[in-house]
Amino acid sequence: MGEHPRTDRRPAGPAPEPVRGGSAADEAATALTVLTTIDSAEGAEELARGAVGARFAACAQIGAPVTSVYHWRGEVRTDQEWQILFKTTRRRYAELEAYLSAAHPYATPEIIATEVVLGGAAYLEWIREETTEPSERAERAARAERAARPGTPGPRAGADGTGPR
């Protein structure tokens, strides 16, 4: 069985402090939960797999059927639906919303985002990492590798001393 954030063991020690939003640069990385509903378990899994596969969301949880009561076209309706709760970042929200709007069979799908105000640092970092484009992850890893090498020179100043060349 593969690794999973809930079953992989971390070293014993105090739990990390919950994370709260910070600078404007952190704004794009703010974690969100995004809720939608759909009329079948198969449809729910298809939406979830598509969003996670495209890295619009780090994961999606499909809830048991719920009974929805709502107004639609002049009448009160009652239907069975499946809820899907996506974990994503503010940076990827617009892409997730566009995907759900295009792939969803409903004319007006429920798409509701809620900001995660507090959360476990490791889990929130996992959401950020999993919703980062592969090219961005590769660049971040390369920067970290360069920074970790002892004696690696930093950017060199240009001939006029103003910055890297």
Distance from C-alpha of 101 to C-alpha of 111, rounded to nearest angstrom: 8
Q: Are strands 31-38 and 59-72 parallel, antiparallel or unpaired?
A: unpaired
Give the tens place of pLDDT for each residue, 37-56: 999 999 999 999 999 999 99
pLDDT of residue 25: 47
Nearest partner of 81 among 102, 65, 105, judged by Cα: 65
105-118 mean pLDDT: 96
* Prediction pTM value: 0.72
pLDDT of residue 9: 46
